[in-house]
Amino acid sequence: MSRMPNLLVIGGHDPSGGAGIQADIETAIALGCRAFSVVTSLTAQDAKNVQAIYPQAIEPFTHQLELLLASLQPDAVKIGLLGDASLAGVIGKAIAPLHCPVVLDPVLAAGGGTDLASQAIIKGIREELLPHVSLLTPNLGEAYRLSGETHPSSAVSTLNAMGCDYVLLTGTDATNGDHVPISLYQNDHPSDNFYWPRLPGTYHGSGCTLASACAASLALGQDMLSAVAAAQAYTWQTLKNADQPLPGQHLPHRLPKS
Ligand code: PLP
């Protein structure tokens, strides 16, 4: 592709810069995409935890997204934090006609512990978004909550049945072992397993970085298996190079060091 691929990112703003739309934009740039961004919510948070979410009202959000998509043809879309259930329907309607991969990071809880999704948001993700999603990137807890199941394989089956083609299930929250397991499932069947050496810190924005890197790699034209493999390798490096500019969790280092 001679032009830069267009990556549309839709998600929340995190003032610490570790997670959210800043993570998405930095990842897009680092991987060679042009980022277009529509913010669902502002948040009050530091590198320890999320204290509050301030969603955009539905009217300005709809205006911003629809106006952008009237002239933009994205090569991939990445969706993160919603903040309010009503935005799910607006996003679902906007992405339904697009002919490009859509990556959804469900963001149901913050690493610091705050719950980021009501039952209404979960319903909105299930009904309005999953039917249009190519790749869902939950951790195990999010997969259970979103599917209503309590076993990884039944959770993946249920999520596939809700409409998403692939599930990349991350196990950072599942074990304390030396390695973090990550599995890609296509239509319910395991396609590949990855194991990453567990890094010593706690990281704010690792899930956002991974999902954005998947979306950027897909926008660059990679197939799903190559995209998720490349995205994991990139994300692991950003965590290995993470630093701690604020007290709390480490923040991924996504852009080349100058
Ligand atoms: N804030 C925003 C805007 C997010 O999008 C996310 C995760 O996607 C978080 C906070 C939580 O990030 P983490 O769980 O990595 O701390």
* Distance between Cα 20 and ligand 1 center (Å): 6
pLDDT at residue 187, rounded to an integer: 79
Q: Which atom of ligand 1 is nearest to the CA of 107?
A: 8
Neighbours of 69 (CB within 10 A): 18
Using CB distances shorter than 6 Å, the residues near ligand 1 are 11-12, 14, 19-20, 43, 45, 50, 80-81, 105, 107, 110-112, 204-208
pLDDT at residue 2, rounded to an integer: 75
Query: At 242, phi and psi to the nearest 5?
Result: -65, 155
pTM value is 0.97
Q: Characterise 245 by phi-psi region: left (phi > 0), alpha (psi -120 to 50), beta (else).
A: alpha
Chunked mean pLDDT (size 10), the chain, 258 residues: 90 98 98 98 96 98 98 98 98 98 96 93 98 97 96 94 96 76 86 92 96 98 97 98 96 91
pLDDT at residue 171, rounded to an integer: 83
pLDDT at residue 173, rounded to an integer: 63
d(CA 232, CA 216): 12
* Distance between Cα 213 and ligand 1 center (Å): 15
